Amino acid sequence: MKKGAQMFVSISHFKGALLLAAVFILGSQTYIGAQNLSSNLAQSGSVYSAYGVGYPVDLETGSAKAHGVFGLSSVNQEVVGLSNPGLWSQSYYTQGASGLDFKNLRLKNSTTEARSTLFEKGYLQLLFPIKSNELGLSVGLYPVTRSNLRIINEDTFDSFGDTVVYQSEFQQFGGINKFELGFGWKITENISIGYAPSVAFFTMENSEAFNFSSSLYAQQTQKLNISGAAFSHRFGVSGSFRSLLRSQDKLSLGATFTAPFSMTLRQNFFTEKSLEVGSKTVELSNLLPAKRGELSMPLELAGGVGYAPHSRFNISAEVHYQQWSTYSNTLFDNNGAGMTDRLRFGTGVQLHPYKRVQSGFFSSFKYSAGLSYDTGHLTIQDQEIRTLWLHSGLGILSRSSSSLDVSLRYGFRGTTESSLIEENIWAIGLSVNLAEIMFLRPKLQ
Amino acid sequence: MSILALISLNACEENTTVGVDFIQESGIQVDTLFIDSVELVSVDPYLGQLSYSAMGAFNDPLYGEVRGTAYFKPSINAASTDTILDYMQLQLRLHVMEEEIYGDTTVAGEFEVYRITNDWHGPSFRQSTPMNLGAELIGSFTDADADTNGNIHIPLGGSWDALYRELFNIDDDSTRLTRYENEDYGLAIVPKEPTNNVRFATFSTSRLLIIGREDTSSFGIQDWAYQLERNENEPIEDRLILHNTFEQVVKLDLQSMVNQLPNTNFVRAELVLEEDTTRKFTSLGEHEIRLAVPGYRLSEGNFIDLAYQFGFSDNNIINGYPLDGRFRFEMTRVFNEQIYNNNPVKSSYLYPFMGSGYVGSNILYDVDANSPKRPRLIIHSIRSEEGQ
């Protein structure tokens, strides 16, 4: 090999790298703005996202969402996602992955119902195989909790015998996101470990706009911005064993641990006031009981197992535990809700007919199905807010390891008892996984 | 605490309502701050060259006795083109407002005209301007003589007639005008018994007529004014009587009011004054009427001339319009300026406003009144659940 050849970068693959970088940068910008942009889209998500720092977002990446698991074990040998840092060593290709969701919610109580739609950006990940199938570096940006809420309330007050009707539109957007930089290392032939430190940043905007039926009262909008940041740590381990029960079979195990973390929150309260100089944004923070507070996020544990008797079929089961009973937030309470430990179980199967050498349109796809059950992290009026999801999905594979995964899920959340709300959710997810060999050393000349 | 809220979740196509009672939201809270004390100040109003000039007398059972004397000075010919011949008559065609009457509508007002014996000027004329009248009767009339257009023709005679003729017939313009300015101070219209109402003359449309055998010349009124004498009744406990002639004006300490505001994001702050409508509507006798006070004004600022500010300025004014015996002032901007723009509230004065010279009075609940109708601030603010 000639001297300097190590620095040679294949132009064609450099284009691939640029493409991946462009996806990441563009996606990042979209993602960072997504939760605020939502306010312009007349959207609202789960009403239960009003509590705490938002509703927990499960870290389901790639095709995992389509069969009810997180992808902790990755028995299907596809592109590895964000779920388990222990899997990041198992990469030969440079990968870029992102996902988004479109949800349609039907909300009902014992008397009435409403519908809502929501477009959500999911996660972003770039995975670089520093040493193929041995050491991988992952850069990721993903949501941990998310609140997406828009509530319109109508009320009245008396003004000298006249009834003034006012409408208040409450919007809450935001949540905790993590920017994570981690690595996975294959320590033995079968075992890999991973560590992912991250910066968790919290942004939440609560706005309330008041409109009055009487022209004597001017429209008012007040906004509360809450933000904070902290370091967080996540650990993962994965194991993969072949030919246990039969030749060509595979058993994969995975587990992750996310350490609890705390962050200092700061809040700003402001509104627009009409003054002689015109409209001016003014601080209302003096109305707040406190400008700073402490947020404690819970410990998380997850584990899963996957078994593939052969390359065209696999079955997985995973469990995820979040110790929400330790959650605390001194800045704002939970609106009367109690926080309880959350358990989520998921199981599913996948078919990979395309791995068989045969023709046929329907054999070109990957098929997934599964279900998951979530005990929820909220107890409101003695009612646990549980969720049952039915998962299904279709994967479209390219000749490389790139794939496009479409998931279709239907979920049942909450209850109509105790004047609560039951949500029936249709969710369509799209996950794009790009895999390229970016840095290729030329062969000996 | 939970608030029953009707929520409407706007979907792309549907908009229906789901009731929930477990989400805390902000609402509108209404706070009332009663005003503990006010200061009363007296302002000497400008009463010259207003659109309407009060003349007459009325003993208002509620507001006391009021007596108005009108002053006017006709123009004289500026150029020597005419002569008043001996047989010609001088006559005032006085225009009075037909509908606007303060007092008894069934009793004709009787008036006498006397010469003014001191110099005066309408543009600077105030209630306190000293005025002296001669004893010689120049003319007299009753308002029952008004024609269908509201004009009363009043023959003028006596020494004023003679002087006016003499001056009018001077050939030299400068001499004529100088002597007219220095020797003739105009005429006063004084009510006499049994007048029991106040009428309002419009001198801008009144004329001095010089009536000949075949033709009549007319000259306008170059200056005019009026003065009111009041003989107020005994004060009524816990009530505040205010006149639009500013004998009493309420001075408010708005700065201390701002300091008492609730610690909230207020969307509207209004100052409310309430009339004692019972006394207002039951105190007049049969056939007696008052002019309605169309509104109150609040002037806020550092004023050099309060009388000018109250009478003529349209700046630094907050109007409080009446509705159902109540005057409501929008104070939101003023308070916002102090709280959010480091622009402290300045001196603030409240007074009934009836521009143009009409006379009106009002009775309000005082700060000492044991009544929810006493002066107060109503604060509408957002009852915020934030940060809790």
Q: Are B59 and A200 in contact (CB under 8 A)?
A: no
A95 and chain B in contact, CB less than 8 A: no
* pLDDT tens digits for range B278-318: 999 999 999 999 998 888 999 999 999 999 999 999 888 99
Give backbone dihedrals phi and psi of A411, rounded to 5 degrees, phi first: -130, 150
CB contact under 8 A, B27 and A420: no
Q: Are A65 and A101 in contact (CB under 8 A)?
A: no
Chain A / chain B CB contacts < 8 angstroms: 162
Q: Which amino acid is at A289?
A: P
In A, minimum Cα distance to B380 occurs at A217
pLDDT of residue A355: 76
pLDDT of residue A41: 31
Residues 317-376 of A with CB under 8 A from B: 331-333, 335-337
Rounded mean pLDDT, B177-190 = 96
Which tops the pLDDT comparison, B124 or A94? B124
pLDDT of residue B8: 32
In A, minimum Cα distance to B274 occurs at A160
* pLDDT tens digits for range B117-150: 999 999 999 999 999 999 999 999 999 999 999 9
Q: Which amino acid is at A39?
A: S
Number of Cβ atoms within 10 Å of the Cβ of B365:
21
pLDDT at B323 over 90: no
Give the contacts of A392 (CB within 8 A, at least 6 positions apart): A66, A67, A368, A369, A370, A407, A408, A409
pLDDT at B81 over 80: no
Give the alpha-carbon dihedral of B95, B101, B107, B108, to 10 degrees: -10
pLDDT of residue B191: 97
Contacts of B28 in chain A (CB under 8 A): 155, 157, 166, 210
Q: Are B77 and B165 in contact (CB under 8 A)?
A: no
d(CA A55, CA A64): 20
- Among B22, B24, B27, the residue with its CB nearest the CB of A420 is B22
Nearest partner of A320 among A307, A303, A306, A305, judged by Cα: A303
Nearest partner of A354 among A399, A322, A387, judged by Cα: A399
Q: Which amino acid is at B66?
A: V
pLDDT of residue A150: 83
A227 and chain B in contact, CB less than 8 A: no
pLDDT at B174 over 70: yes
Lowest mean pLDDT of A88-92, A224-228, B356-360, name the range: A88-92
pLDDT at A24 over 60: no
Nearest partner of A251 among A62, A76, A59, judged by Cα: A76
Expressed in percent and rounded to 5, the helix, strand and coil fractions of chain B are: 15, 45, 40
Q: Name the E strands within A113-260.
A: 113-131, 135-143, 145-159, 162-186, 191-212, 220-242, 250-258
DSSP track, A93-104: SEEEEEEEEEEE
Lowest mean pLDDT of A38-52, B87-101, B353-367, name the range: A38-52
pLDDT of residue A64: 82
A82 and chain B in contact, CB less than 8 A: no
d(CA A423, CA A25): 34
Rounded mean pLDDT, A2-21 = 38
Identify the H or E element spanning B214. Answer: none
pLDDT at A440 over 60: no
DSSP track, A209-252: EEEESSTTS--EEEEEEEEEEEEEEEEEEEEEEESSSSTT-EEE
Nearest partner of B320 among B356, B355, B271, judged by Cα: B271
Q: Are A220 and A209 in contact (CB under 8 A)?
A: yes
Q: Which amino acid is at A47?
A: V
Which of helix, strand or coil describes residue A48?
Answer: helix
CB contact under 8 A, A220 and B265: yes
d(CA A203, CA B130): 74
> DSSP secondary-structure letter at A37?
H
Rounded mean pLDDT, A139-155 = 90
Contacts of B23 in chain A (CB under 8 A): 47, 50, 151, 335
Q: Is the dihedral of CA B340, B341, B344, B350 positive or negative?
A: negative
CB contact under 8 A, A332 and B341: no
Please report, rounded to a whole number, the percentage of residues in chain A having pLDDT higher than 90. 49
Give the contacts of B142 (CB within 8 A, at least 6 positions apart): B108, B109, B110, B111
d(CA A347, CA B142): 106
pLDDT of residue A31: 38
Residues 179-208 of A with CB under 8 A from B: 206, 208
Which of helix, strand or coil describes residue B373?
Answer: coil
Please report, rounded to a whole number, the percentage of residues in chain A having pLDDT higher than 70. 86
Q: B378: distance to nearest CA of chain A, Å?
A: 10
Q: A271: distance to nearest CA of chain B, Å?
A: 9
In B, minimum Cα distance to A215 occurs at B268
Model pTM above 0.80: no
Number of Cβ atoms within 10 Å of the Cβ of B126:
14
pLDDT at B240 over 90: yes
Expressed in percent and rounded to 5, the helix, strand and coil fractions of chain A are: 15, 55, 30
Contacts of A225 in chain B (CB under 8 A): none
pLDDT at A291 over 70: yes
d(CA A315, CA A256): 19
Radius of gyration (C-alpha) of chain B in whole angstroms? 28
> DSSP secondary-structure letter at A86?
G
**Per-chain mean pLDDT for chain B:** 89
pLDDT at A36 over 50: no
Which ranges of A226-374 would DSSP assign to H, the alpha helix?
A: none
CB contact under 8 A, B24 and A335: yes
Of the ranges A28-42, B1-15, B125-139, the best mean pLDDT one: B125-139
